[in-house]
Structure 1
Amino acid sequence: MRRFLLAVLACLGLTAGALVAASPAYAAVFQTYGSGVNVRADAYLSSAVVGTLSGPTSIDVDCQKSGDLVSNSDGTSSWWAYVPALGGYVTVVYVAVPEDKLPGVPECGSEPPAGDITLADVQAMFGSRIANPSLVETGLPSLNQAMRDAQINTPYRKAAFLATLVHESRLEYNIREIGDTRPYGGRGYIQLTGDFNYGPAGQYFGIDLLGNPDLAMSLQWSAPIARWYWTVARDINPYADNLDMGRVNAAIGYPAGTEDQRRCDSFKAAVNYLTGSVPSGVICTRPSALNGDTSKLTRTQFETLAKQGSGLG
């Protein structure tokens, strides 16, 4: 199909290079082929789908970046074209060029998008809890993407999410719970635990987490799984909006204790860094109904207890 489209362009006296030359300096025009081609929020198959191309489409490409490898009958490519008008990335394997990388198109800049969390940010928030800065920095692009996908886009939401993860995993995507030899013990940013989580998370992403639990601490899946738990297994953003770290901690799924206050202190430190002050009304304690181990509750069961304040012993 790529070769066919290029032949058609040649008949019209056009080439990919000619299209590039004819386009504005900030964009290059290319043609996609195929139907149902996804536009994703980032250059990874785990990133959210932000649109779909119903058929061959002319796209103005701003830049390209290396991401997940995609294959079809015409070849493979790990390059993705950023299309500002579509708000996302299209895999180059479905762009009508003979190469696996777009000619004449610059690589997307290394500067993080405005609003993304940097290594300097988390070090300022959490200090010595960031024990392996280089590893944390490696994971931050995927973690920032997961935060965008999860609408973790306010200071309170960011503070609650990051405070949770720094206590769960030190913000290290590939960490395994120390001494935990259970097949479905804690892994990754959110320390995913239990077949009751590995199964549904794997089903959600279309991967076999029950058969390959170590995927939960891979760079590709650790951050998306944290996003899944935060928004699908539980709905935690509203608790962060209410400054309710008691319910945030309960939603993560461990019994109440001194750890709750430590996490709440980290939340306050993160909010202070992000906003310049600690607001009044931060809730560090849980409702008594949520003092027990909530890890095996369904989302509906948890929300019922969180609202009604009764149930767990």
Structure 2
Amino acid sequence: MFKRAFTSALAVAGVVATSLVAATPAHAVAFQTTAANLNIRSDAILSASVIKVLPGPTSVEVDCQKSGDSVTVPGRAATTWWAHLPAHGGYATVGYINTPGTKLPGVPDCPPDPEPPADDVTLADVQAMFGTRIANPSLVQTGLPSLNQAMRDANINTPYRKAAFLATLVHESRLEYNIREIGDTRLYGGRGYIQLTGDFNYGPAGRYFGIDLLGNPELARSLQWSAPIARWYWTVARNINPMADALNMGKVNAAIGYPAGAEDQRRCDSFKNAIRYLTGSVPGGIICTRPAAYAGDTSKLTRAQFDALGQTPGALG
């Protein structure tokens, strides 16, 4: 049972402009924007992903508005209100809409965001598990709906599996869906929750989802694809849930694909912290070190090659 505090779920996640219906609801109200290039975000917070940039000034239709991050535009009072633009599938700050006040007249408030499912991981949960490793809470919050969906899709549904998955991602990306590996200028360098790396991963992941990751590697750190790609790596490129079930964090780390070293213990400590939070105690039998066969960099191995490392010659199963 999670020790959770109330946090609201973000209602809009992983939406691309091409999938949006351009029709305007009958109750929408017309306004004029004031910016030459206005960011339309997936939610009413400044860390939410920019799903498109709207040229302008131009006319827009607004069907509702919600309170979010405060924005101050020169010459105007600060506003926390954001307009939902149904034709563009996202939110724009009221600060760049031509209106005399800080809230739009004649526009209803958006319905409250639904609470997350009971088993979903919240921002409060990951902060309790990992402390200061959660360096950008609002960005982590933006990605959690898609991350929780990926966990459901991957059957990451037990405390051990959740602890292994989240401990891995907090070390790979600080649980920030759009992170790029610092200083990595390679075309297929680390991106996203699980820091997808190498054409040997971008190619198969793209084929699995039917997208061109080789031609557009930046998709790997988009709100739409970052979490599904992490799920793909966890269950398709590798089969990591059974390793978590066995409390074998050493093998989990080997499956992620980096050479053995001090980082293994740091990740294992995070795994223990997560289990302690999720269950109230740390079980015996956690394995933090790797067998010798897994000590090297396994990142370029196929799943079959990785699985074969654990097979003893002549053994069955």
Q: Taking structure 2 as the reference length, what is the TM-score of the superposition?
A: 0.66
Q: Kindly state the Cα deviation for residue 76 of structure 1 after the two structures are TM-superposed.
A: 5.2
Q: Kindly state the Cα deviation for residue 306 of structure 1 after the two structures are TM-superposed.
A: 2.4
5 Å-filtered alignment, 1:104-119, equals 109-119=113-123
1:259-301 per-residue CA deviation (whole Å, 9 max, x = no partner) reads: 0000000000000000000000000001100000000101011
Higher relative contact order (CA 8 A, sep 6+): 2
User: Partners in 2 of 1:263 and 1:78 — Cα distance?
Assistant: 48
- Indicate which of 175, 182, 185 corresponds to 1:178: 182
- 1:271 and 2:270 are equivalent in the alignment: no
- 1:124 and 2:128 are equivalent in the alignment: yes
1:1-44 per-residue CA deviation (whole Å, 9 max, x = no partner) reads: xxxxxxxxxxxxxxxxxxxxxxxxxxxxxxxxxxxxxxxxx998
How many residue pairs match? The answer is 223
User: Partners in 2 of 1:262 and 1:202 — Cα distance?
Assistant: 31
Q: Kindly state the Cα deviation for residue 71 of structure 1 after the two structures are TM-superposed.
A: 5.8
- Indicate which of 118, 126, 150 corresponds to 2:154: 150
Q: Kindly state the Cα deviation for residue 110 of structure 1 after the two structures are TM-superposed.
A: 2.1
1:227-265 per-residue CA deviation (whole Å, 9 max, x = no partner) reads: 000000000000000000011000000000000000000
User: Partners in 2 of 1:77 and 1:108 — Cα distance?
Assistant: 23
Task: Give the letter aligned to residue 273 of structure 1.
Answer: Y
5 Å-filtered alignment, 1:1-313, equals 109-308=113-312
Task: Select the structure that is richer in helix.
Answer: 1
SS of the equivalent of 2:236 reads: helix
Identity of aligned residues (%): 76
User: Partners in 2 of 1:70 and 1:78 — Cα distance?
Assistant: 16
The aligned residue for residue 34 of structure 1 is none
Task: Give the letter aligned to residue 147 of structure 1.
Answer: M
1:64-111 per-residue CA deviation (whole Å, 9 max, x = no partner) reads: xxx566769xx65799xxxxxxxxxxxxxxxxxxx999xxxx968421
Check 1:69–1:180 CA distance in 2 against 1; reply closer, same or farther (3 A cut).
closer
Where does the alignment leave 5 or more consecutive residues of structure 2 unmatched? Answer: 1-10, 26-85, 90-109
SS of the equivalent of 1:307 reads: coil
User: Partners in 1 of 2:313 and 2:286 — Cα distance?
Assistant: 19
User: Partners in 2 of 1:262 and 1:308 — Cα distance?
Assistant: 29
User: Partners in 2 of 1:148 and 1:201 — Cα distance?
Assistant: 19
Task: Give the letter aligned to residue 116 of structure 1.
Answer: D
Q: Taking structure 1 as the reference length, what is the TM-score of the superposition?
A: 0.66
User: Partners in 2 of 1:165 and 1:125 — Cα distance?
Assistant: 12
SS of the equivalent of 2:311 reads: helix
Give yes or no for contact 1:260–1:284 (8 Å, CA) kept in 2: yes
User: Partners in 1 of 2:293 and 2:141 — Cα distance?
Assistant: 38
Q: Kindly state the Cα deviation for residue 201 of structure 1 after the two structures are TM-superposed.
A: 0.3
User: Partners in 2 of 1:169 and 1:152 — Cα distance?
Assistant: 18
C-alpha root-mean-square deviation of aligned residues, in Å? 2.6
Q: Kindly state the Cα deviation for residue 307 of structure 1 after the two structures are TM-superposed.
A: 3.4
Task: Give the letter aligned to residue 208 of structure 1.
Answer: D
